[in-house]
Structure 1
């Protein structure tokens, strides 16, 4: 199940660069999204030794921190091995899943087939992204082949944004955000419900999303809509190499 869901999530948001090694895929995209800038296990028992050299070399070439996204597919010792190497453990998260069912789509939510500049600016503003982060994420989304791009309008202005991408018959929800001054009004539930209804109409047999364990308001919202915990994951991350360092491909300990 985990292998299949992970594959769907990757297909729904493909990285700009993906290098496959035995049991892993190393993903590089730039921008703020960690899942497309990390090495991800693809099969059960994926051995860390099979990916470390390639991952460190590739991230050094892109002046990015080496980052591993550790799901239950990784070998049991992977986390402790990376801890011993000085990589910090961050962003305890969950993949959650549910089966969407056909339902009317909230008329306040419009769903387009592609990302526009106004939509991107709204999302970036809600998430507090810099111009570089916004532009990097826009470049990533331009490569997604099939998706529904949702905008929720309240009081005549866009206040909610979200995407459902598709992979192997599953809809992967991401970039879900509500403007800061409109939160706590049930708009997030309306937005996600509309995206799920649209995904069901498009033939999705399952929906999935990824959320921080510490984000209890979001976790509560998703549980209320029928999502259940499928499996946990977290990241181990180093620091980017100094551009002036002659030792390219090496990583500082932390």
Structure 2
């Protein structure tokens, strides 16, 4: 059983690091909606108290109406903070589970992050957004939404790009420094440049930057099916803290 105090803290810093445009509450269920970006973390219901499970059916219906207003499918993000009766309700109604994600943590001084080239964060959000879209292979229509999300991040953050003159951007990462914690987001290596050490290089550079700023603990989220990334992070010294997954009703 995960330590719920640690889960609550990482969930809170994760929300600050990847801010939704609209945040509403139904009890302790946090409804996050963002018209400009389709990320599930920005468009999901996040239950935050295992004991808050009253009137589930009516609350799910209310959430559905709010998501309809944003033209977003209703998605629940189920972490260890989600109440068991809600999980049972979703199971009984056939909601499928997808995109299981591992949350990992590491003490920076114990991680293997020294060595390799130093990279300073880029200052131009537009340059980073263009690089990120290229590396992830995303559609250019996401540019405005991603720019808005990055511009809304309040804790200090570093935007990292690994690139060369011949091939352009090869890997990107966002590192958000929140008190003693450094969160890594948007980690990616371009498809045709994988297994060349660029992912390792960008992670190390970002965490050295965070260490220099005073962070002592690093954390990240990675989909469990991404075996190469999970192996990379374990090799650096990260360990699993908890998992979450998304739930969506049939036919959505």
TM class, shorter-length: 0.7 to 0.9
* 2:50/2:84 contact within 8 Å kept: no
**Which of residues 50, 56, 66 is equivalent to 2:64?**
56
What TM-score do the two structures reach when normalised by structure 2? 0.86
Unmatched segments (≥5 aa) in structure 2: 1-5
Q: Distance in 1 between matches of 2:141 and 2:45?
A: 22
What TM-score do the two structures reach when normalised by structure 1? 0.85
1:110 matched to which residue of 2?
120
Unmatched segments (≥5 aa) in structure 1: 239-251
1:41 matched to which residue of 2?
47
Does residue 74 of the first structure (1) align with residue 79 of the second (2)? no
- 3-state SS of 2:131 partner: helix
Structure 1 residues 45 and 206, CA gap change in structure 2 (3 angstroms) = farther
1:82-93 maps to which residues of 2 (within 5 A)? 82-93=90-101
Q: Once the 2 structures are TM-superposed, how far is the Cα of residue 115 of structure 1 from its aligned partner? A: 5.1
Q: Once the 2 structures are TM-superposed, how far is the Cα of residue 106 of structure 1 from its aligned partner? A: 4.7
Q: Distance in 1 between matches of 2:140 and 2:206?
A: 27
Q: Distance in 2 between matches of 1:22 and 1:41?
A: 9
Q: Once the 2 structures are TM-superposed, how far is the Cα of residue 232 of structure 1 from its aligned partner? A: 0.9
Q: How many equivalent residue pairs?
A: 240
* 1:152/1:161 contact within 8 Å kept: yes
| Greater per-residue helix proportion | 2
Does residue 237 of the first structure (1) align with residue 248 of the second (2)? yes
Structure 1 residues 45 and 226, CA gap change in structure 2 (3 angstroms) = farther
* 2:161/2:170 contact within 8 Å kept: yes
Deviation by residue 1:88-128 (Cα, 9 ceiling, x = unmatched)? 2110111111121396685452313x552222122112212
* 1:124/1:130 contact within 8 Å kept: yes
